[in-house]
Every structure is written in structure tokens, then in C-alpha cells.
Amino acid sequence: MALTARYYNTALSMIKDNREKQEILCNERLERLYQKYPILKNIDGEIQNLFSNATKQMLNGTRVDFDSISKKSLALQQQRAQFLESVGVAPEDLKPAYACPNCSDTGYVDGKMCDCVKKLAAKLIYDEINADVPLDRSTFELFDVTKYPEADDARETMQKIYQYCLKYAQQFSADSPNLLFYGKTGLGKTHLSLAIANVAIQKGYNVIYGPLSRIIGKIEAEHFSKENHENQTLQSVIGCDLLIIDDLGTEFSGQFAASVIYDIINSRILNGKPTIINTNLEISEIQDKYSDRVLSRISGNYKMFVFVGEDIRTL
């Protein structure tokens, strides 16, 4: 998936940049100690010469006395440690301060991508979404069902929706079902969908969130641009692990938009990629605004939840 690769490549680059930075800082600390304590530089020079001379001997076909080299090296290492202790320098102070002790900021452990890369990639996704929406405030813990009225069983209905969404997030996987949240504005559709996104991101899944108008706008700009974007946004939207489309129905109507909407919905269904759609439209209004095939794909492949109550943002 293009988007996943972009985040992982960025994370890997950042981690490797930190490794390079820490090694430069470590070398600078060592150079300062060499200037202050020439004896330390001499000891390190002798250690280096031991192994460089052994390498030359091996290349020349000369027999190398490894036992002797090992003993000399051990003695020099002990001398070095004793000297550093005498001047109050801990051995850790002369090692790079890598952020990840498992991979030493290489990004890989035993040929496999380190968890630190996955965590940083997840944070990049989180930060990108959080730049536009209050992702940090849209959590399950901050969703208050007591704000919904008890009349007409609104609170009970929303409690059931909340419990379903919580379980959905906890069990989220590539095989999770598609969801359609519909109802009047301000009833918590965006909050719960972003709460799911929070958990999915923490699990390491690649999530894209956005109002449909913005998503279509970016796709349209790339489609008609003279530059070769290769429909990057469309491919990313179709390929991400979880897509959350907000405000279905508020986008500018037109043939291009209708085509893109169907392409996204249909492609993700065919690829088995879960999608969450939020809309203020009723089902009948979705049918009126979009083609029958769009409604058919949604009604046949999405679990539908109607949000009820009063605008909780106003309350």
C-alpha cells in the first residue's frame, strides 16, 4: 500500500537520522576527551592498531597469534576502563544514545522491521489526522452517553451503539465490517468513528480520515493536474487499512464526484477493506442524491446505525 509505505519510509528515515546524529555527538564527546586526556587517545590507538595489524597479517598470509592479540586487547580494555573511572567518565557516556535499544536505531532486528518503526509510523498517522480534527479528544473514555435523553430510548440506543463501536475497535482487523453512521448533526458520529481510529492506529493499522469534500478535492486536483501524481490520493484512500469518510452528502455534486465516490466504495468492498461512513443524510436522501448502485453497494455491504437524540455539542 502506497500510503503505508510512505509513513514507514518516513519513520525509518527519521530513526536513521537520529542514529547518525547520535553517532556524531558521540564522536564529538570522544574528541573532547582525547584533547583533555591524551592518554585515552593513546590507549584507543593501541587497541585499533592491534586489530589493523592483525588484518594486514591475514591479508599477507602471515600467521596471526589471536591468543596474544586477545590478551593484549583485554589488558588495554581494562586499562581504559580504569582510566575512565578515575576521571569520572561512565562507559555509557562514550556510546551513542540510541532511541531504541533493540535495533540501535537501524530500524531492523534480525532482518525484520523493528517495533520502533511501526510505533513512529503510527504516531505520524495520528499526528496527521490530529492536525485537522480533535483526535486526542475523540476517545471512548470521553464519550458521555448520559448527555443523550432517556426519552424515546435515545440513551439506550446510543449506549448500544457505543458498546458496538468499542468492541469493533478492540477487535479491529483487516476483516472488520463496514459501518454507516447516519442521523442528524452533532450526535457523536464523528466522535465514535475517530475513537475507533484511535484504537486502530495504536494497533499499528494505517488509517485515513477526512471529510468527503476534501478527499474528492485532492483526488480531482491530482486527476486534472499537469504534474504526474499517479492518482496518489485515490490509491491511498482505496488501499489504507481503515478509511473514515466524514460528511457524506456535503460534497459538491457532479459527475466526477459521483464517479469517485462509487470507485472508492466499490474498490474497498472488492478488496475487503473496512470503511466507516458518517452522514447527516437519511437512507432515502442517500438514494435521492446518489445513484442506485452506490446505495446498493452501501446497503448490501455496510452495517447501519442511526444516531438519535439532540445535538450533544449544543448541550
H helices of 87-134, where?
115-130
pLDDT tens digits, one per residue of 178-200: 999 999 988 999 999 999 999 99
Per the listing, cell 540501535 goes with 104
Do residues 195 and 206 touch, judged by C-beta distance below 8 A? Answer: no
Whole-angstrom Cα distance, residue 284 to residue 60? 86
pLDDT value at residue 1: 40
- One-letter amino acid at 127 equals D
Q: Based on DSSP, count helices (H) and strands (E) in the chain, helices before strands.
A: 11, 7
What is the DSSP code (8-state) at residue 226? S
Contacts of 83 (CB under 8 A, 6+ apart): 37, 39, 40, 43
The dihedrals phi and psi of 41, each to the nearest 5 degrees, come to: -65, -35
Q: Calculate ∠ Cα 296-301-302, nearest 5°.
A: 105
Give the CB-side neighbour count of residue 100, counting CA atoms within 13 A. Answer: 24
| Lowest mean pLDDT across 65-79, 163-177, 268-282, 301-315 | 301-315
Q: Decide: pTM greater than 0.75.
A: no
User: Does residue 5 register a pLDDT over 80?
Assistant: no
- Which triple of cell numbers denotes residue 166? 468499542
**% of the chain with per-residue pLDDT over 70:** 95
User: Does residue 131 register a pLDDT over 80?
Assistant: no
- Tell me what the mean pLDDT of segment 270-289 comes to: 92
Beta strands at 112-113 and 108-109: parallel, antiparallel or unpaired? antiparallel
Strand partners, 180: 277, 304
Whole-angstrom Cα distance, residue 199 to residue 195? 7
With cut-offs at 50, 70 and 90, classify the pLDDT of residue 315.
low
Contacts of 126 (CB under 8 A, 6+ apart): 135, 198, 201
Whole-angstrom Cα distance, residue 23 to residue 17? 10
Decide if domain 132-307 falls under CATH 3.40.50.300.
yes
Q: Which residue has the higher pLDDT, 187 or 152?
A: 187
The CA-based dihedral angle spanning residues 295, 300, 303, 306, taken in that order and rounded to the nearest 10 degrees = 40
User: Does residue 106 register a pLDDT over 90?
Assistant: yes
pLDDT value at residue 312: 63
Q: Specify the 3-state DSSP secondary structure of 112.
A: strand
Other Cβ atoms less than 10 A from the Cβ of 297: the count is 20
Q: Where are the domains of the chain?
A: 2-113, 132-307
pLDDT value at residue 69: 87
With cut-offs at 50, 70 and 90, classify the pLDDT of residue 121.
confident
pLDDT tens digits, one per residue of 207-240: 889 889 888 888 888 888 766 556 778 888 898 8
The rounded mean pLDDT for the chain is 89
H helices of 150-291, where?
154-170, 189-202, 212-223, 232-239, 255-270, 283-289
With cut-offs at 50, 70 and 90, classify the pLDDT of residue 245.
very high
pLDDT value at residue 2: 46
